[in-house]
Amino acid sequence: MNNKVSLKKHLVLFLLLGCNTVAFSQLGTGISARKPALPTYSTPYVIPTVKDVKNIVDRIQQRVEKNSLFYLVDSINGQTISYSQPNKNAIYPQGAFYFIEWSYPNGVSLSACNDLYETTNDTTYFNYAIRFFDFTFKAMPYFRTMEENGLIRHHPYKKMIHMAALDHCGAIGAALIKIQKRYPDRRFREWIDTIADYIYNKQYRLRDRTIARQRPQPQSFWADDLYMCIPFLAQMGSLTGDKKYYEDAVRQVIQLSARLFDQQTGLYDHGWNVNSAADDPQFYWGRANGWCIMAMAELLSVLPENFEGRDKVLALYRRHAQALVHLQDGTGFWHNLLDQPRSYLETSASAIFVYSIAKGVNEGWLSHIYGSAALAGWNALATKVTESGEVCDIVEGTTLAHDNVYYFNRGKSCTTNFHGTVMRAGSEIIRLLNNPRFVIESPVPNSTIHVKLRADIQSK
């Protein structure tokens, strides 16, 4: 027994002497311990500056303004048309259609203009939104009169006049309310009421008042519809003070989430229909999840603190954000199918997640530690904005589908009109960088971005 103890003591002494010999040898010869290799990031891993972020969103907006030709031309001779005389050949100038049409992607862009005006006080953005809507409410009555007189059947404002889906009114209607609050216009206000009547009274719903579509199956829920109705309902509640709009917005979040939100994954299924019910296959499409979390962020922004159901909306928002940060790719982007890393990295969903997470941090709905994921996401987005202001690798419009082949093979391009998602992300990142509550520490070599509470640092 004593021999074993003695042997152990000698072994320990030998190891200590050996380690010290190595240490002394290194000190004597000037040899230092091996330094860890620095990582090679596929996208920049830095703290962006406010100036850099503003430059990027400015480039996007400059492209929008360049292509937003706010006048009508004769399709036969190319001459500019006066609104005083009906002309059945009236069209938008070539290349302008997607920038000045009444559409939900432009609704996102116009909300971005409002955001950026609030964040930067740059009137360029707000003035553009006013020009857009002023042109709309000059051109729309012109085409409506010609349609009523039988001169034309098809025209750019047909979906605006004959609303038949939330896509035709909700997102752009929410943007219209935001502009109306700052720039009251009788034409805007009247159309806001028209949209409210459609969404609240005419849009197809189930018996429990849950908003639904009658495609592709007779009773289908789409995750997209959270954004196509909830921001408008929330803004309508804020504009009018009528709590029925807040109640409806909260109802839609809770009841659509009951069918579409998977608590285990923390993600929204793209859609659900009554024909497959509990056996409905789940596909976690990126941009649809973006619409969901952005809708909740917009609702939380205006919903009174003690309003019934707010706690449930906030809980869903937080669980969703937690799941999304977990699934962020090492590049800073998110995948087109969120849980399918073989699907491509997609820009518009990534932008919406950056916006929604950064907004949560700024508003205090999420812990400040989420800020680094938002900043990393912004660095990724910045690589997709060209010098001319195009935003690349945006998936094209995607219907509700029930197979991976469809989702995996959706096209992506630099011309899909969802640049507003990146502009909104930029606005919230500027707010985050300027937020006096936080100190953002640089990722020194081989370290990470830390977003810390200034109060915690000052209390030490």
Tokens representing 274 are: 């009554």
Predicted TM-score of the model (pTM):
0.92
d(CA 427, CA 116): 5
Q: How many CA atoms lie within 13 A of 211 on its CB side?
A: 28
pLDDT above 50: residue 431 = yes
Cα–Cα distance between 115 and 49 in angstroms, integer? Answer: 18
Least confident of 111-125, 274-288, 293-307, 322-336: 274-288
Is pLDDT of 211 > 70? Answer: yes
Instruction: Compute the average pLDDT of residues 358-362.
Output: 99
Residues 6+ apart with CB under 8 A from 128: 61, 64, 65, 68, 113
DSSP string, 125-183: HHHHHHHHHHHHHHHHHHHHHHHHTTS-S--TTHHHHS--SGGGTHHHHHHHHHHHHHS
Residue 120 has pLDDT above 90, yes or no: yes
Q: What is the dihedral of CA 110, 229, 203, 183, to 10 degrees?
A: -40
Q: Please state, in angstroms and as integers, the Cα–Cα distance from residue 358 to each residue in 53, 78, 281, 347, following that order.
A: 14, 46, 31, 16
pLDDT one-digit tens code per residue, 251-301: 999 999 999 999 999 999 999 988 877 788 999 999 999 999 999 999 999
Per-residue pLDDT band at 415 (split at 50, 70, 90): confident
Identity of the residue numbered 434: N
57, 422 contact by CB (below 8 A)? yes
- pLDDT number for residue 33: 61
pLDDT over 90 percentage in the chain: 84
Phi, psi of 287 (to 5 degrees): -65, -35
Q: Give CA–CA dist 48/29, Å, rounded.
A: 42
User: CA 391, 363, 323 angle in degrees (round to 5)?
Assistant: 65
Q: Which residue, 292, 305, 270, is CA-closest to 399? A: 270
* Predicted confidence (pLDDT) per residue in 287-299, tens digit: 999 999 999 999 9
- Local structure of 453: helix, strand or coil: strand
Residue whose structure tokens are 């009174």: 304
Q: At what angle do helices 243-260 and 286-302 cross, to 10 degrees?
A: 150
> Coil, strand or helix: which one is 380?
helix
Q: What is the per-residue pLDDT across 34-69, written as a single tens digit (0 to 9) for each?
A: 677 778 899 999 999 999 999 999 999 999 999 999
Tokens of 276: 């497959």
Type of residue at 35: K
CA triple 346-350-354, angle to 5 deg: 170
Given CA atoms 259, 395, 45, 358 in this order, what sign does their dihedral have? negative
Give the range among 8-17, 125-134, 200-209, 383-392 with minimum mean pLDDT.
Answer: 8-17
Q: Per the structure block, which two tokens stand in for 411?
A: 């096209």
Which of 192, 198, 271 lies closest to 235 in space, CA to CA?
Answer: 192
Indicate the domain borders of the chain. Answer: 204-327
At 136, the amino acid letter reads T
Bigger pLDDT: 442 vs 244: 244
Condensed to tens digits (0 to 9), the pLDDT of residues 181-191 reads 999 999 999 99
Radius of gyration of the chain (CA): 27
Question: Model confidence over 128-156: pLDDT tens digits?
Answer: 999 999 999 999 999 999 999 999 998 88
Q: Grade residue 108 by pLDDT with cuts at 50, 70 and 90.
A: very high
Among 190, 175, 165, 99, which Cα is nearest to 130's? 175
Tell me if 155 sits within 8 A of 139, measured CB to CB.
no
Report the residue count for the chain: 460
460/455 Cα distance (integer angstroms): 9
- At 346 the three-state DSSP class reads strand
Average pLDDT over residues 374-391: 98
Q: How many CB atoms lie within 10 A of CB 79?
A: 11
Contact 79, 87 (CB under 8 A): no
Q: Is the pLDDT of residue 176 over 50?
A: yes
Q: How confident is the model at residue 411 (pLDDT cuts 50, 70, 90)?
A: very high
Q: Indicate the pLDDT class of residue 197, thresholds 50, 70 and 90.
A: very high
Examine the pLDDT at 250 and tell me if it is beyond 60: yes
- pLDDT band, very low/low/confident/very high, at 318 (cuts 50, 70, 90): very high
Residue 181 has which token pair? 């609050």
CA distance 146 to 133: 20
Query: Percent of the chain scored above 70 by pLDDT?
Result: 92
pLDDT of residue 32: 55
306, 309, 311, 317 alpha-carbon torsion, rounded to 10°: -130
Type of residue numbered 364: G
